[in-house]
Amino acid sequence: MLWQLAQMLWVGGFWLIHLGLQAVLGKIGLAPLLIDEVASAFEVPVVGFAVTCVIFQALVLIQAEGLVSLWRDFRGQVLLMASGACATFIAVRVGWPEAQRWQEFGFLLLGFSGLVLVLQPVPGWSGRVREAHP
């Protein structure tokens, strides 16, 4: 359940802010430059929250499947890709701030890795209902 909660918070929040916020601000009639400025102000907190949730999900995966699952299991590989996308976004934002296309690449890579992760099964769950023991 913790896996799904963390996943819902960072993936859902990511796409809600990225797609929903920009669409709503455009509908209320704000200038395009102002929309871009507001959206870019939300990018860093969203990526920071995603890093926290990705680390939490990695810990849940390690607890359920073992440490080797980070590089042998597809979910672990996607989590590593998401953490790499976060690192890319932060490194480009700090070290090369005028490279906005690379920042957008890291941001969207993080979002799409989250969507791929949503399609994967929950670690440690076999798909059947567990029976209660007296």
* 19 belongs to a structural domain: yes
* 87 belongs to a structural domain: yes
Per-residue pLDDT of the chain (134 residues; tens, 9 = 90+): 788 888 888 888 888 887 888 888 888 888 888 888 888 888 888 899 999 999 999 999 999 888 998 889 999 999 999 999 999 989 998 898 888 888 888 888 998 999 999 998 888 765 544 455 55
* 26 belongs to a structural domain: yes
Q: Which domain holds residue 18?
A: 2-118
The CB-side HSE value for 31 (13 A sphere, CA atoms) comes to 3
> How many domains does the chain divide into?
1
- Cβ-count burial 85-115 (b if 16+ within 10 Å, e if not): bbebbbebbeeeeeeeeebeebbebbbebbe
